[in-house]
Amino acid sequence: MRARAAAIVVGVAALAAPAAASGQGIFQVVTSIGGPPFLPQRVVDAPVAVSGQMVVRFHGDRAAGCEASGLCDTSGTITWDPGRTAEVFATLGVAGGRRESDVYITFGDYPPLSGARTVAEVRRTRPDGSRAGCADASTDVSDLEARGRGLALDVGFARGGLLGTRCGGPLDEDIASLLPVRRVTFSQLERGGSRLDLSAHGAFASHGLAGQLDSTVVLTLARGRNHNLVPPNIRFKRRRMRVLDVSYALDQLSGQVAVDFAAGSQPALCDALDACDLSGTVALAPVASSGAARLSAQVPERVSALALLQRTGLVNGRSGKPIPLRGFVGWKGGGAITATTSRPGGPACSDRIPMGADAILLDTSGGALHAGYSPLGMSNADPVRTRCPGPSTADVGQVQALATATAPLAALRQPTLTLRFTRGAGFAGAGYSGSTKPNLTVVLKRTRVRERVVTQRIEVDPLSG
Amino acid sequence: MLRRAGLGVTVAGAALLLGAAPAGAARQVTRLTTSAQGELVVGWHGDHAAGCADRGTCAFSGTYELPIGGGATQSEQVSGNATLPPQIQLDSGQPTVVRARRDAPGGPGLCVDVVSSDLSGVSLVQAPGRRLALQPGGLAGAASGPLAGRCAGPLFSDLPTGFPTVQAPARLGSKPVTLDFSGRRAFSAGGWSGEVTSTVKVTLTVTRHAAPRSERIPRAIRAYLAKRRSIQFVTLEYRAQQVAAGLGVAFRGLPDPACEPFDACGASGTASWSIGGPVAKGPLILLSAERRLRPGEPRDLASALRALREGQMHVTGGGDLGSNGRAQSAEQLPGGGSCSDSTPAGAPSLNVASRRGRVSFAFGGPQELSPELFRTRCPGPLLADAFGQGETLVVGRVPERVLAARTLRVGGQSAGGFTGSGYLGSRRATLLLVLRRVRARVEPVGVGAP
């Protein structure tokens, strides 16, 4: 999940690169969908000593609605162990004319024996009174993330997949109100010695589950290092590139992608995950309140504007080697992830989680436009994890799109572009196997085609002599 | 004990970078890319017929989940046909998830741990009869080591050897070859019975291309190397006449809830590793000392040893103390019952370095990946819990001047407390080496940067 999230950030950054081509510094401008570009000015990193862990004990609770969600027979413990070392990486920059700052704390150094992990032990009572247990671990989430204004950074637990495993149980949003946030300044990061006490204790009750959170996590910052964003020995060369951007407004987003699953092919593992007789569906139904899409290409300036338009397929005519367009559809809004799981003779489990901003990746190749929907949630959260037991992205496949659509390149010449996601994919993870069944439609209205020449500063490889 | 993989890649890259190409020759680089997907899953349980009662492991059962894939590993050869290296570490990127269940009267205890793929990862190795096999063991080469992290479970050596295997491809060409390692194999060893299930598929792809033009020495490095300096190297070879080293911990489970993920609440015990005794032909310890020679300075061995005595040489080196170590553990399990086991274990490498007139002989150190020395089939803390990850385990120091003597006696010890994941306790470590110098020679004076 993390790797995929990183991939889209890189992808989005690459799209933003032409616009930032005249900017200073070796860091590319990174922008989020719909957000202003972020130009880093100051970077500080520091080692962190870590102690403590976060433990969430929970049980199905009637007052919290366990009968409706089918979780009354469930209890368990989820432990997030951050390891003993971490690295804080803070960036101060400008976004939309205002000073913004980001901080990432990455837990666990090499090897991940001492790194962060989430461990879940979830038990349930079978209808015959016997007990079954699910044990799972995940190392997907190992970061804390925060954003600040100016020189102050608010460090807290990122809402994402801290508690996520294949065993089910509470999600991060169930305990979010109990988690502390601590402020640290850039000066404190540079000086070192600050202690960020992220300990917390409190009860929660949400979506059929109630329990107790106990965090004893404390971070102690060592002296930080300031990074010069443009080291004096870095040399640049200039390159003039012709850039093509095709912009769309999102007109319609409807339908859903269903992920049907059952226990995987490994008998020992399905027993350990308490999944041998479990089957279910996770359905992702995104809803957009607003959205946009962009397809971009860049070539050396010597390629004419007409050739660029022809070779990308935007204009009919004699063309040479095709030039690929790459981009994304991004949207803000709602929608929901709903899960239903069942076992023979046992109560059905159901859950519903709101969806946030999301994106679809686009690219052209082989004379067609390809679109892939791999819901990222724009956070660390695993899109197929819910409070019910079921697969994770480790089972479904980290790089596999849940739904894909293809349209002929000629569709790019029309003012309206309709993408119908009807092709799903099968998966066969060790824990769970199944298939995705998409029925998702995206309609885009073209708003602008812009071609221009920009000057890029390219770092010269210092090893090239 | 191995350096981290990244360093190896860097060294290989540097070698490629600095390798001088014949003038005018167009070098071909053959690149073998290995990508894999799937999983190895080991399901196991304590088995009376296999001897679990002797160890107290009959109440345990569990799984190891070793994901494979998520990346590709590459090896490069300069010119020639693609050949398979003896061992290819399959890039996992994902750690092994360990689950161990302990059946007890008050309800089962569950231990869940995560083990680095560097310690538990899977390699593609060549097997007899022109076959290829998947071999768990990780970078640390812990063939007999534990796979279970802090939980109870089988050792690598309890699992079927070289399972599964497939016929090696007759030749590797430009067409990708996919090897299907799917299969199941039952095993019974070390007090356990179980089954290994594989869904692993490995794809080998060969590409050939011209060596990039940038493979020349960067200007800054050329300028640095051009400053001629005379450097003298002295090689000192020692045989270990006596080796006595040991690591030990006395541990107990952390207070609830920190003990819970590891089923360690109420557990207590000891674990140790030792290697030692007089040795007829002990392991070889190689030291290299170097100094910058001033113009006209004598270059013979006596002068070099004199410089060594006076602390004017920088010493580095090390050795391998062999593989006849032994791990032992004994533990009182939560709620009653006990587990005890003893297994062969390797040894950490010995690293030698001089600083400020003193030479340190150390087990382990920064950037080193130690095999788990005192873990057995019973649950318990890891080496990293007790001694820290990448930390020196124990060090003995001697003045640099004594290196000129024929016999060297090095001793060191350490002790302290620890709080790790799931366990806390006390640790101790001892090291005693009696080394006899068997050879000292002066290498020809080299020219280069000191």
pLDDT, tens digit, 9 for 90 and up, residues B263-283:
999 999 999 999 876 666 778
B221: helix, strand or coil: helix
User: pLDDT at residue A14 above 50?
Assistant: no
- For position B107, what pLDDT does the model report? 78
Residues 364-383 of A with CB under 8 A from B: none
Is the N-terminal amide bond of A438 cis, ω within 30° of 0? no
Q: How far is CA B309 from the centre of its chain?
A: 34
A117 close contact with B: CB closer than 8 A = yes
**CB contact B42 to A (< 8 Å):** yes
Between the ranges A401-410, B317-326, B396-405, where is the mean pLDDT highest?
A401-410
Residue written as token pair 């803070």: A90
Q: Cβ separation of B257 and A394 shorter than 8 Å?
A: no
Burial tier of A186 (Cβ tally within 10 Å: 0-12, 13-18, 19+): buried
What residues of chain B lie within 8 A of the CB of A465, using their CB? Answer: 216-219, 222
Enumerate the H helices of A121-229 as residue ranges.
Answer: 172-175, 186-191
Query: Cα–Cα distance between B47 and A198 in angstroms, integer?
Result: 45
Chain B residues with CB inside 8 Å of A461's CB? 214
* Residue A321: Cβ within 10 Å count: 5
Among A113, A121, A394, select the one facing B261 at the smallest CB separation. Answer: A121
Tokens of A141: 């989430």
Question: Does residue B52 carry a pLDDT above 60?
Answer: yes
Note whether A269 contacts B260, CB cutoff 8 Å: no
| Helices (H), ranges, B78-156 | 117-120
8 A C-beta contact, residue B237 and residue B437? yes
Q: How confident is the model at residue A163 (pLDDT cuts 50, 70, 90)?
A: confident
Q: Are strands A225-227 and A236-263 parallel, antiparallel or unpaired?
A: unpaired
Sign of CA dihedral A171, A175, A177, A180: negative
- DSSP letter at B262? B
Q: List the single residue in A81, A111, A398 with the smallest CB-CB distance to B119.
A: A111
Does the distance separating the beta carbons of A139 and B95 come in below 8 Å?
A: yes
pLDDT at B137 over 70: no
CB-based contact, A319 to chain B, within 8 Å: no
C-alpha A307/C-alpha B24 separation (Å) is 39
Kindly provide the ipTM of the predicted complex, given to two decimals. 0.74
Out of A131, A268, A428, the one facing B43 most closely (by C-beta) is A268
Average pLDDT over residues B372-396: 86
- For residue B32, the distance in angstroms to the closest alpha carbon of chain A comes to 23
Query: Residues B117-132: pLDDT tens digits?
Result: 666 678 888 888 888 8
pLDDT digits (tens, 9 = 90+) for A174-214: 998 898 888 888 888 889 888 989 899 999 999 999 999 99
Angstrom distance (rounded) from CA B223 to CA B209: 30
pLDDT above 90 coverage of chain A, percent: 45
Lowest model confidence (mean pLDDT) among A278-287, A378-387, B172-181: A378-387
Residue A266 near chain B (CB below 8 Å): yes
Q: CB-CB: which of A111, A112, A135 is closest to B110?
A: A135
Six token digits for residue A253: 């987003």
Chain B residue numbers touching A84 (CB-CB < 8 A) = 389
* Residue A333 Cα to chain centre, angstroms: 16
In the prediction, which pLDDT does A434 show? 93
Contact B119 A121 (CB under 8 A): no
What is the token pair recorded at A53? 């862990």
| Main-chain dihedrals φ then ψ at residue A269, nearest 5 degrees | -75, -40
Query: Do B101 and A109 lie within an 8 Å CB cutoff?
Result: no
B window 302-341, beta carbon within 8 A of A:
none
B113 touches chain A (CB under 8 A): yes
Q: Which residues contact B9 (CB under 8 A, 6 or more apart)?
A: none
Amino acid at A458: I
Q: Is B164 on the interface with A (CB under 8 A)?
A: no
Residue B168: phi, psi to the nearest 5? -70, 145
Distance CA A253, CA B434 (A): 76
Mean pLDDT value across residues B331-358 = 88
Helix, strand, coil share (%) of chain A residues, nearest 5: 15, 50, 35
Specify the pLDDT at position B263: 94
Predicted pLDDT of residue A237: 79
Min Cα separation B420/chain A (Å): 9
Distance CA A127, CA A121 (A): 20
Rounded to whole angstroms, the Cα distance separating B91 from B38 reads 12
Over the stretch B410-448, which tens digit does the pLDDT of each residue have?
999 999 999 888 899 999 999 998 999 888 888 766 655
- A132/A73 Cα distance (integer angstroms): 10
Closest in A112, A268, A463 to B195, CB measured: A268
> Rounded to whole angstroms, how far apart are CA atoms A256 and A31?
28
Q: What are the C-alpha distances in Å from A231 to residues A186, A224, A462?
A: 21, 18, 12
Tell if the CB–CB gap between A463 and B113 is shorter than 8 Å.
no
B216 has a chain A CB within 8 A of its CB: yes
Asked if A214 and B258 come within 8 Å (Cβ–Cβ), the reply is no
CB pairs under 8 A between A and B: 123
Pairwise CB contact (< 8 Å): A461 & B214: yes
Report d(CA B78, CA B25) in Å as an integer: 12
In the structure, what pLDDT confidence band is assigned to residue B91 with cuts at 50, 70 and 90?
Answer: low
Q: Six-digit token pair at B425?
A: 């306790």
CB A161 within 8 A of CB A117: no
Q: What is the pTM of this model?
A: 0.79
A212 touches chain B (CB under 8 A): no
Contact A412, A370 (CB under 8 A): no
The secondary structure of residue A270, as a DSSP letter, is: H
The answer to whether the CB atoms of B65 and A265 lie below 8 A apart is: no
Task: Compute the mean pLDDT over every residue in chain B, rounded to the nearest whole number.
Answer: 80
The closest CB to that of A137, out of B112, B194, B382, belongs to: B112
Mutate which: A77, A81, A113, A427, vs B, most B CBs within 10 A: A113
Taking an 8 Å cut-off on Cβ atoms, the answer to whether A394 and B95 are in contact is no
Record: contact A121-B199, CB cut-off 8 A: no
Identify the pLDDT of residue A234.
63
User: Under DSSP, is residue B14 helix (H, G, I), strand (E, B) or coil?
Assistant: helix
Instruction: Choose between B283 and A121: higher pLDDT.
Output: A121
Cβ-defined contact of A117 to B67 (cutoff 8 Å):
no
How many residues can be counted in chain A? Answer: 465
How far B253 CA sits from the closest chain A CA (Å)? 15
B372 CB contacts (<8 Å, ≥6 apart)?
B119, B140, B142, B145, B146, B382, B383
**How far does B222 lie from chain A, in Å, by closest CA?**
9
Cβ distance of B112 and A119 shorter than 8 Å: yes
Phi, psi of B2 (to 5 degrees): -115, 150
- Please indicate whether residue A346 or residue A277 has the higher confidence score (pLDDT): A277
Q: Enumerate the residues of chain A whose CB falls inside 8 A of the CB of residue B214.
A: 461, 463-464
Residues of B in contact with A430 (CB under 8 A): 39, 41, 65, 67, 199
- Residue A378 clears pLDDT 60, i.e. is over it: no
Chain B residue numbers with beta carbons less than 8 Å from the beta carbon of A266 are 39, 41, 43, 197, 199
pLDDT at B116 over 50: yes
- Across the interface, of A120, A398, A465, the residue whose CB is closest to B219 is A465
- Number of helices (H) and strands (E) in chain A: give both, helices first: 7, 25
A 125-144 residues with CB below 8 A of B? Answer: 131, 133, 135-137, 139
Dig out the tokens for A133 from the structure: 């247990």
What confidence score (pLDDT) does residue B440 get? Answer: 87
Chain A's closest residue to B216, CA to CA, is: A464
Question: Based on the number of CB atoms within 10 Å of its own CB, is B167 exposed (0-12), middle (13-18) or buried (19 or more)?
Answer: exposed
- pLDDT at residue A269 above 50? yes
Which residues lie closer than 8 Å to B444 by C-beta, 6 or more apart? none
Give the residue among B213, B216, B210 at the shortest CA–CA distance from B76.
Answer: B210
The pLDDT assigned to B141 comes to 47
Q: How far apart are CA A341 and CA A124, in angstroms?
A: 14
CA B125/CA B143 separation, integer angstroms: 13
What per-residue confidence (pLDDT) applies to A114?
A: 52
* Cα–Cα distance measured from residue A77 to residue A275, given in angstroms and rounded to the nearest whole number: 18
Using the Cβ of B65 and the Cβ atoms of chain A, whether some distance falls under 8 Å is answered with: yes
CA distances from B41 to A112, A427, B83, B110 (A): 20, 17, 29, 18
**Cβ pair A112, A197 in contact under 8 A:** no
User: Which contiguous run of DSSP H or E holds residue A421?
Assistant: strand A416-421
User: How far apart (Å, rounded) are the C-alpha atoms in residues A116 and A106?
Assistant: 9
B74 touches chain A (CB under 8 A): no
The chain-wide mean pLDDT, for chain A, equals: 81
**Highest mean pLDDT pick, A68-77, A157-166, A220-229:** A68-77
**Res A327 pLDDT > 90:** yes
User: Does the structure show a pLDDT above 50 at A159?
Assistant: yes
Supply the pLDDT for residue B38: 83
CA distance B124 to B36: 10
Q: Do B260 and A136 touch (CB under 8 A)?
A: no
